[in-house]
Every structure is written in structure tokens, then in C-alpha cells.
Amino acid sequence: MQIIKVINNNVISSEDDKGKEIVVMGKGIGFGKKAGEEIEETKIEKVFSLPDESTSQFMQVVKDMSYEYIRTAELVIAYARETLGYHLSKNIYVTLTDHLGYAIERKRQGIVVANELSWEMKKFYNAEFQVGLKALDIVKQELDVELPEDEAGFIAMHLVNAQMGGQMNQSRNMPAMIKDILNIVRYTFQVELDEKSLSYERFVTHLRFFVQRVISREDSERNDEEFDQLIADRFPRSYECAQKIKSYMKKKLDYEVSDVEISYLAVHIHRVIHSMNK
């Protein structure tokens, strides 16, 4: 194989026998090399292809990244593929490698980013969350960096998104549905949400998983009338808004969203609206 492009000392691009661009990784595989030269096959550790639109993104992500970070991300992805037993979109190489790189650097700089959705991930996506916990062990073993448990939730989110990209045909409807839900919130409260705020970002993240759970019919079946009534009494406008969203989902998917799911949604609606009034 010939080198098409040298990304850094440890990552290069080449072409397979069908002329499709591939990513080739290995310690020192690109050191001192130029396009057109033969690849030293003894240094090849990993070869994979990505969708055309993702290849350049991956190259950009790893361009200035330590090989140890890249290799650690690959170990996590390999473990996830083996453990979860379902298809993961190849975009996971872009998203998870990028995330782990930043997470490790944040830890080394003493910066802590809380994940308020960890409980949701542990509750609704426990298999992915457990992989996230194992990923923390891999990072500790490979890099001697101890990431906080909240990172397991972030890693689980990336795995869920990658799973949706590979399996859920209806996932293409999610952006429009999320947009509609946000508009219901806007119209109910007659507000313009601050799309640059952290609270908005958290709310949209919740909506992504909310919609996925409903589409895949995996929303909580637990009944807790006392909890539902508590939320309805404490956050009446947010609960009313959540009920409108429930009606919307019924029309869109011909599916009745569970009451407890609507109650949790009302809590998140209250949070994003309340944050605007601070």
C-alpha cells in the first residue's frame, strides 16, 4: 500500500483495492514519510474505512492528538463492539476519539464537567453505561488518568448515538421531531430559548434520548402516580407543556408515551425555562 497523506507520525491515509480511502494507524507509521511512499506493513496496527464525510473529520480530530489517546479510544471502541453485540456507526471513531481526547486533557488541567444525565444513562442505557465504566478502567490502565464516573455517562451517550446511526431507520426523523418539541415549548411559554446556553444544550440532549426511547418503544413502563401528581402540582405549566408534547408524539408515532416519561420531561422543561429567568 502507498501513502496518500501523512496526518501525523502515527496516522496516515491510503487506499484499499477498490480505491476507497482508508485510515492506517500505527506507532511511528508516518514519521519521516511522504505521500507516494510505501507503507511499512510491520508498523500497521489498525486499518479501517469511514464514510466519506467522516474521514476528513477524523483526520482533523487526530491531527494533533497523542497516539496514546488515539490507541486508547480504539481499545474502548473495540471493547464496546465486542460487549454490546450490536452495530456501531463508524462515526464513533470520530466522536468518541474526539471526546476522550478532550476529557483526558480536561482532567489533566483540573477541569471538571458534570454530567447531569448520568442517572438517565445508567437507568435507560445500563449496558452502554457499564461499557463507559470499563472505558474509564482502560483509560486508567493505558494513560494513568482517572476520569470521573460522570464520563461513563458521556461515553454511553456516544455509544447510543452510534447505535442509532447504525440500526434505527427512524432516527432520520429525530431532528424534525426535536425541532417540533422545542417549538411547542417556545409557544407554550412565549419565550425564545437561548440556544447558546448550557441549559439549552442539556435540554436538547435530554430530548434526543427521550425521542429515541419513544421511537424504539423503550420508554419507562414504571407507574408512579404519586410522583406524576407531585410534578403536575409543583410545575403545572411545564407539566401542561409536556402533555402537549405527549399528544404530538401520539399523532406523530401513534404511540402513547408513558406518564412517568412525561413527568421527567416536565422537570427538564422547568429547568430550561427557569434557567432563563435567573
- Domain architecture of the chain: domains with CATH: 1-49 (2.30.24.10), 50-167 (1.10.1790.10), 169-276 (1.10.1790.10)
Please state the pTM of the whole predicted model. Answer: 0.59
Model pLDDT, residue 124: 59
Model pLDDT, residue 166: 44
Going edge to edge, which strands form the sheet with 5-8? 5-8, 11-15, 21-25, 46-48
Q: Do residues 209 and 120 touch, judged by C-beta distance below 8 A?
A: yes
Model pLDDT, residue 53: 66
Q: How many CB atoms lie within 10 A of CB 258?
A: 18
Crossing angle (nearest 10°) for helices 236-253 and 259-276: 130
Per-residue confidence in pLDDT tens, the chain, 278 aa:
888 888 888 888 898 888 888 888 888 998 898 998 899 989 988 887 877 667 777 888 888 788 888 899 999 999 999 999 878 888 888 889 889 999 999 998 888 888 876 876 776 578 889 999 999 999 999 999 999 999 999 898 888 878 765 444 454 466 678 889 999 999 999 999 888 888 888 898 888 788 888 887 776 666 778 888 999 999 999 999 999 999 999 999 888 998 989 999 999 999 999 888 76
Which DSSP state fits 38? B
Contacts of 133-142 with CB under 8 Å at 24 or more apart are: 134/76, 134/79, 134/83, 135/76, 135/79, 135/80, 135/100, 138/72, 138/75, 138/76, 138/79, 139/72, 139/76, 139/100, 139/104, 142/68, 142/71, 142/72, 142/75
Strands 21-25 and 46-48: antiparallel
